[in-house]
């Protein structure tokens, strides 16, 4: 059955949105297991939710380390081996995985782009920070867009593995239902002060929750907040009487703490869900609800 499925996978290469220009050939892994490689933790969660209970499917995650952003990520030798061994690669898209463009170009594995059909927001700019991409890639931070990502995985896998198509579809439906019903949301976002975040990845989250994103900057080596940005943030805190500002749990908080000392506002952490434990949709639901709880406690 799996060999038939792998044949279908390769035959269906032209049906997929692929980053590489390779042609189909014999899969790297000559066994009866379908090896799916998910690039990031959110994509891994969505893919494992879709493939739950499907026999002969193995989903692994490419980026294992705790990380805040992928701007300077470099593929390791083990990363390259994982790409070579993959029968299918599932990626976020919207330029998030630009660091692996050369590896994908030399790979024959079909690529599922989870961003297909997702409504995109323009990328946020940052003084001194090189934002070449036109659109913001952090699409998984909105549950509705996350549901579209889930369906993108399920739709392609169902086309390639028709014998398990009903199970992929049922899993996607169940995941979507949980995304809609189990993420609490913010009942009265207008009653809360706006968000100031020290990461540029919360734009979709702010839109989904109805919160006003007043300012978002991303600090990393060589791209620290400028004096003008710090002055602007201090001014916003005073203007909107903001009780807390937010860092990303794997990011820097040095500037936020300095602003806190100057203004007296608090500092809280939000989770971009770029790292974590577990599989399936539950860790995503938990992380999103924790973010909402953090904001309600810090701003309420």
Q: In the numeric block, which tokens belong to residue 246?
A: 């937010």
Closest by alpha carbon to 87, among 158, 157, 165? 157
Mean pLDDT of the region 136-146:
98
Does 274 score more than 80 pLDDT? yes
Q: Are strands 244-248 and 266-270 parallel, antiparallel or unpaired?
A: parallel
Q: Give residue 129's pLDDT.
A: 40
Does 296 score more than 90 pLDDT? yes
Does 221 score more than 50 pLDDT? yes
Between CA 156 and CA 81 the distance in angstroms is 24
Domain ranges of the chain: 2-181, 189-299
Q: Give residue 25's pLDDT.
A: 36
42-65 in b/e form (b: 16+ CB < 10 A) is bbbbbbbbbbbebeebebebbbee
The CATH class for the domain spanning 2-181 reads alpha beta
CA dihedral 80, 86, 92, 97 (to 10 degrees): 20
Q: Give residue 220's pLDDT.
A: 63
A 10 A CB-CB count for 272 gives: 24
Does 150 score more than 60 pLDDT? yes
- 189-299 belongs to which homologous superfamily? Nitrogenase molybdenum iron protein domain (3.40.50.1980)
Q: Percentage of the chain with pLDDT > 70? A: 86
User: Residue 140 in contact with residue 150, Cβ under 8 Å?
Assistant: no
Q: Give residue 190's pLDDT.
A: 93
- pLDDT, tens digit (0-9, with 9 covering 90-100), for 234-270: 999 999 999 999 999 988 889 999 999 999 999 999 9
């Amino acid at each position: 059955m799996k060999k038939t499925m792998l044949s279908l996978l390769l035959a269906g290469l032209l049906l997929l949105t692929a980053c590489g220009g390779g042609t189909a050939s014999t899969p790297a892994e000559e066994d009866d297991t379908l090896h799916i490689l998910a690039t990031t933790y959110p994509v891994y969660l969505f893919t494992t939710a879709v493939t739950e209970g499907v026999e002969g499917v193995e989903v692994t995650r490419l980026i294992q380390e705790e990380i805040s952003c992928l701007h300077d990520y470099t593929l390791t030798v083990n990363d390259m081996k994982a790409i070579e061994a993959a029968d299918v690669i599932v990626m976020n898209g919207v330029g998030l995985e630009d660091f692996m463009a050369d590896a994908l170009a030399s790979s024959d594995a079909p690529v599922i782009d989870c961003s297909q059909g997702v409504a995109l927001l323009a990328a946020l700019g940052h003084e001194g920070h090189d934002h070449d991409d036109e659109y913001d890639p952090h699409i998984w931070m909105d549950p509705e867009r996350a549901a579209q990502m889930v369906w993108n995985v399920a739709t392609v896998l169902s086309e390639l593995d028709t014998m398990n198509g009903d199970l992929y579809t049922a899993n996607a439906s169940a995941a979507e239902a949980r995304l809609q019903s189990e993420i609490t949301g913010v009942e009265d976002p207008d009653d809360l002060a706006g968000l100031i975040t020290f990461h540029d990845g919360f734009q979709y989250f702010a839109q989904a929750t109805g919160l006003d994103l007043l300012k978002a900057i991303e600090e990393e080596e060589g791209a620290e907040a400028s004096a003008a940005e710090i002055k602007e943030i201090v001014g916003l805190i005073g203007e909107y009487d903001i009780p807390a500002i937010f860092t990303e749990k794997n990011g820097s908080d040095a500037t936020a703490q300095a602003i806190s000392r100057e203004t007296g506002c608090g500092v809280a952490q939000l989770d971009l869900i770029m790292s974590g434990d577990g599989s399936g949709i539950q860790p995503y639901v938990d992380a999103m609800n924790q973010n909402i709880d953090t904001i309600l406690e810090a701003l309420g």
